[in-house]
Amino acid sequence: MARKILIIGGGFAGLWSALGAARVLDLERHASSDVEVTLVSPRPELHVRPRLHEANPEQMAVPFLPLLEAVNVKFIEGTVARIHPADHSVDITTATGETTSVNYDRLVLTSGSRLFRPPLPGLAEHAFAVDQLDEAVKLREHLESLASLPDTAARNTFVVVGGGFTGLEVATELPERLRGILGRDARPRIVVVERADAIGPDLGPGPRPAIIEALEQLGIETRVGAGVVSVDATGVVTATGERIDASTVIWTGGMVANGLTAQVSPNLDRQGRMEVSSDLRVNGTRNIFGAGDVVRALTDDAEHYSLMSCQHALFMGRFAGHNVAADLLGLPTIEYRQPFYATCLDLGAWGAVYTEGWDRQVKLTQAEGKVRKQLINTQWIYPPAPDRELALAAGNPHISF
């Protein structure tokens, strides 16, 4: 009977977990001939989430079946409804609507994260988002429809709720994007509302001068120190009582882990992430590993922990895939470490700001930063070609970009 590795999630962590596991099985052919690796995901494609704020989100889906086939990884198109750790099984609702149960010997949970949506009045009904591909497409369709509406202040006003990484990328992308829709002479009013006392609160003071310079050059307004308390069809109200009339409100209010984490571990952080050991095994379990946005993992010896980013998900995936296969074969697992940390924030027509280190020392700005951002977004985070040798090499946890 085959021994089975099951990977839940087809994002960055899941796809690179599959490559990492396949690499170990290839290296240990004599001991792994009876091992099957299966990846389950709602779609046979990787959605390049860091680029969903761009003008053509439909182009940000990368088919991965040829890649999985190249490394002998099976695929189930479906959604995991329930994990049964005690029984070593999961319940899957397939793309055709059928429910099936799949057993595993080892499991890697990489089901990712979702946008945090608090119960604010009107948020669900009236705010757009760029968290998922369908949401980004809905926003694109809405923006393109604005040209057919009367030229009013509300039509030309755009509120971005959240002044963090995603909110800043959305806001700074809008001016040029909207001029392509409304005309080159259009002067859209873009307002970023951030409840913290400074723009980019999680990015720290290092890149802030560059961020502020970009916002000022692009004519983007900010409101800090007060978040949005309600959304309706014609605008928002902030905690200070200010009313901003706008036909477009975009919510970028932080991330929480996929709810499957609660079925695996009772010990979750405030974002719903599982605690893991140094080899990415979920604490309190024997046969379950995790990677990506669903885990809080120590990245280095300076007590820095992973963030919800493809930078960490991709690398963690390699380690989790390596370790789940090694563990199944009775081989030593390896310690996940990712000491190098960088941030590259796209700031639209102004350029980008690239920093290195957890203290975010600015290394590149404007045009030079933009070149680095384009390299990251169009090459470094994309899967390898569906060539077996290249694919297995990409699963090596000891390589960098």
State the Cα–Cα distance between residues 310 and 268, nearest whole angstrom: 20
pLDDT tens for the chain, 401 residues long, are 899 999 999 999 999 999 999 999 999 998 999 999 999 999 999 999 999 999 999 999 999 999 999 999 999 999 999 999 999 999 999 999 999 999 999 999 999 999 999 999 999 999 999 999 999 999 999 999 999 999 999 999 999 999 999 999 999 999 999 999 999 999 999 999 999 999 999 999 999 999 999 999 999 999 999 999 999 999 999 999 999 999 999 999 899 999 999 999 999 999 999 999 999 999 999 999 999 999 999 999 999 999 999 999 999 999 999 999 999 999 999 999 999 999 999 999 999 999 999 999 999 999 999 999 999 999 999 999 999 999 999 999 998 65
Report DSSP state, residue 136.
H
Q: Where are the domains of the chain?
A: 3-115+255-341, 123-251
- Which letter, b or e, does each residue of 112-128 get, where b requires 16 or more Cβ atoms within 10 Å of its Cβ? bbbbeeeebebbeebbb
Instruction: Determine the pLDDT at residue 401.
Output: 55
Provide the 3-class DSSP secondary structure of residue 116: coil
Q: Topology of domain 123-251, per CATH?
A: FAD/NAD(P)-binding domain (3.50.50)
State the Cα–Cα distance between residues 170 and 121, nearest whole angstrom: 23
Residues near 369 by Cβ (< 8 Å), separated by ≥ 6? 344, 347, 351, 352, 353, 354
Two domains, one topology: 3-115+255-341 and 123-251: yes
Name the helix (H) or strand (E) containing 135.
Answer: helix 133-145
Instruction: Determine the pLDDT at residue 261.
Output: 98
State the Cα–Cα distance between residues 117 and 229, nearest whole angstrom: 12
Residue 238 burial (C-beta neighbours within 10 Å; 0-12, 13-18, 19+): buried
Report DSSP state, residue 55.
S
Which has the closest alpha carbon to 397: 327, 320, 324? 320
Please give the CATH number for the structural domain made up of 3-115+255-341. 3.50.50.60
List the beta bridge partners of residue 106. Answer: 5
Instruction: Determine the pLDDT at residue 23.
Output: 98
Compute the half-sphere exposure of residue 61: CA atoms within 13 Å on the CB side of its CA: 13
Contact 37, 340 (CB under 8 A): no
Q: What is the CA radius of gyration of the chain?
A: 22
